[in-house]
Amino acid sequence: MRVVVLAVLALLFATPPVHGESIEDQQWHLGALDAYEAHEISRGDGVVVAVVDSGVDETVADLAGRLLPGTGFGSAAGNGGVRDTDGHGTSMAVLIAGQGRGGALGIAPGAKILPVAAGTDGENFASGAVSESVRWAVDHGADVVNLSLGTPVESTPDLKAAVEYAFAKDVVVVAATGNDGARHIGAPANVLGVIAVSGTVQDGSPWPSSNTGALTVLSAPAQDIVTASPLSVSESGYSQVSGTSAAAALVSGVAALVRSKYPDMSAANVVNRLVTSATDVAEPGRDEATGFGAVAPLAALTATIPPVNQNPLLPGGTVVPQDPAAASADDPADPATLLALAGGALVLAAIGGLVAWRRARERRGPRIEVVAGWEPPPPSDDFWRPKY
């Protein structure tokens, strides 16, 4: 069976918290994403986020009351998805829905986590197990599927079909671009319609180790991200991680905030809202390093954005700009508008043509280093996630 090679997050264990400084205080990404202001509008209540990963440890205090009954596939079959000897899945779940009760706070603390273990150790995930995990998550109520995993080779038919099944069931799918520092995006992030997430650092510039490419959709914090881990993995119960896995989890959390505030909104329009409201990191429009820009929770929750009929990332889809009346007058990405005076009243109407935000182009600003001589590895019997 043709399978793919997995390249995900490098997990780096943190030193104990600085004396007098809480874990939450060390989560710099919360401020960067205006999480506290966003929580005044939405906390993700009523939304289910599936974490397809190494499992989610049910004993982690920051996830108390957040876990739904899950399952496992492959080598994790029968464990209910709530054992995690690797720590990766738990760390991602906390970034999404951590409670912050003296510990790590998630982007959507009101959301529920559906734990789906695709393997026991986080090192080797079979392609079929990941595909089954996605389908199971969709069939068991997931509104968002977080895939903090990725592959430098092409997708397998079963994985592509599973992701497309999620789209057909009105589910938002988020995936990591990878951490090779290469100009290459593999599956599942390269499946059209998936929100492929690259990383940024504290000053907002691209994280140099992110994989990049024309299919990059959004970016989010990826360097030195503090989260919780199982005690079996980290003596303190917390860890510091760097990678696009963390960035993807944060975007999944923002998707949960949007789905909670707009419960009747289709997945296609949630995706459009996220990409339309993103903050440009480079020049206006889409670029290979950060896609449409850095995810912006407050704008995603409050911007006036016209509806779309399909996922804008799919062939034939179009990213619909924010309502001109709600956009900044000096925003170079604003669509052209026509002002007409009628009966002494000023009428604002948007002209029919939409700004071509989906055009891939040469990026400016910080360059992403391509690993010299890097080539996708050949298919093997398992997914693989290296720990750098």
Spatial separation of the C-alpha atoms in residues 131 and 58, rounded to whole Å: 23
End-to-end Cα spacing for the chain: 28
- Of the listed 53, 86, 280, 382, which one is catalytic? 53
List Cα–Cα distances, 137 to 72, 93, 223, in angstroms.
11, 14, 28
SS (H, E, C) the chain: CCCCCCCCCEEECCCCCCCCCCCHHHCHHHHHCCHHHHHCCCCCCCCEEEEEECCCCCCCHHHCCCECCCEECHHHCCCCCCCCCCCHHHHHHHHHHCECCCCCECCCCCCEEEEEECCCCCCCCCHHHHHHHHHHHHHCCCCEEEECCCCCCCCCHHHHHHHHHHHHCCCEEEEECCCCCCCCCCCCCCCCCCEEEEEECCCCCECCCCCCCCCCCEEEECCCEEEECCCCCCCCCEEEEECHHHHHHHHHHHHHHHHHHCCCCCHHHHHHHHHHCCECCCCCCCECCCECCECCHHHHHHCCCCCCCCCCCCCCCCCCCCCHHHCCCCCCCCCCEEEEEECCEEEEEECCCCCCCCCCCCCCCCCCCCCCCCCCCCCCCCCCCCCC
Would you call 53 a catalytic residue per the annotation? yes
- Of the listed 131, 209, 245, 252, which one is catalytic? 245
Would you call 334 a catalytic residue per the annotation? no
Would you call 180 a catalytic residue per the annotation? no
- In 3D, which of 7, 1, 3, 2 has the Cα closest to residue 374? 7
- Of the listed 75, 88, 209, 280, which one is catalytic? 88
Residues with a catalytic annotation lie at 53, 88, 245
